[in-house]
Amino acid sequence: MQHTETIPVPPLSWVAFPLPEQAVRDLEDVTRVSASLFPRNLPQIGGLACAAVCKEARQAGGDYYDFFDRGPHRVGFAIGDVSGKGIASAIVRATLQAGLRTLSTAGWSDLGQTLSVVNRLLFESTPEEMYATLFLADYDERSRRLQYVNCGHPAPIVYGRNGISRLESNATVVGLFDNWECSITEVRLAPGDTVMLYTDGASEAMNDSGEQFGEDRLIELLQKNTQLPLPAILQKCVDQVRGFGRDCERDDLTLVALRCLACRFQATETSYQ
């Protein structure tokens, strides 16, 4: 009689297959190139302090932030989040970044026209199910006026002597629809106002009980630490979000902080030229 022995085999999800050496090198290249797409230097204008951080959950992801030189006394900035995860999102993010930087370098400063071109670029050159939320703004330190378009992105938080306000969405996401329109909103900051921009990797980070970190915790953190330098505020945000639960490192996390500073330019009613 033949003896049969059953050998236990672990579930496939338990088995780790090493990647081929070439695939490992390719992923390392993706990580290196992805990191290089973020700005190497922050803008230097007297009326605005800036800080930013991006923690990618994988080798590359869809979170995005950037700053744009608008000439003396002005700066543009953006934060965005491409749908999906991983390398596919990173490729679309690179398209988004290249489009915005190219237009900025060519002298395009009109937010509506810029975003109309970017929407067309993404709509025609990316998979039909992919899109990006995006917040794009221009700031003039002389008048302390901030013009922005929020394309379905989590509303940035403004905290200062007048309390809390939000820079709410005034346009739909970019890249999903052929016919796309937006409105431009203008606000004036006061010296000491701090603006916190973030991706949903912060607000939607989830703990083991299924509870999200939420906007309220971001606001509380900003209120308690507003006297700190901006990089320290961002580090506290990263630490608290990442420590919120085991699942909080599964999504990219991007934060940008801006602080309006008193400068020698007298605020006037002059609008953007």
Residues contacting residue 113 through CB under 8 Å, at least 6 positions apart? none
pLDDT digits (tens, 9 = 90+) for 196-216: 999 999 999 988 888 999 999
Q: What is the mean pLDDT of residues 111-127?
A: 95
Q: Kindly compute the dihedral angle of the four CA atoms of residues 105, 116, 77, 45, in this order, to the nearest 10 degrees.
A: 50
Distance CA(245)–CA(241), nearest Å, equals 8
Q: Where are the domains of the chain?
A: 48-260
Residue 6 reports pLDDT greater than 90: no
Cβ count near 29 (within 10 Å): 11
Compute the residue count for the chain.
273
pLDDT at 268: 45
Instruction: Classify residue 86 by burial, with Cβ atoms within 10 Å: 0-12, 13-18, 19+.
Output: middle
Residue 272 reports pLDDT greater than 50: no
Q: What is the CATH number of domain 48-260?
A: 3.60.40.10
Distance CA(219)–CA(164), nearest Å, equals 8
Rounded to a whole number, what is the largest CA-CA distance in the chain? 99
Percent of the chain with pLDDT over 90: 63
Q: Kindly compute the dihedral angle of the four CA atoms of residues 160, 270, 185, 110, in this order, to the nearest 10 degrees.
A: -130
Distance CA(97)–CA(100), nearest Å, equals 5
Average pLDDT taken over every residue of the chain: 86
In a 3-state reduction of DSSP, which class is residue 236? Answer: helix
Q: How far is CA 154 from CA 89, 95, 171, 201, in A?
A: 18, 21, 12, 10
Q: Kindly compute the dihedral angle of the four CA atoms of residues 109, 110, 114, 117, in this order, to the nearest 10 degrees.
A: -130
Q: DSSP class of residue 195? A: E
More confident position, 210 or 160: 160
In a 3-state reduction of DSSP, which class is residue 12? Answer: helix
pLDDT at 36: 56
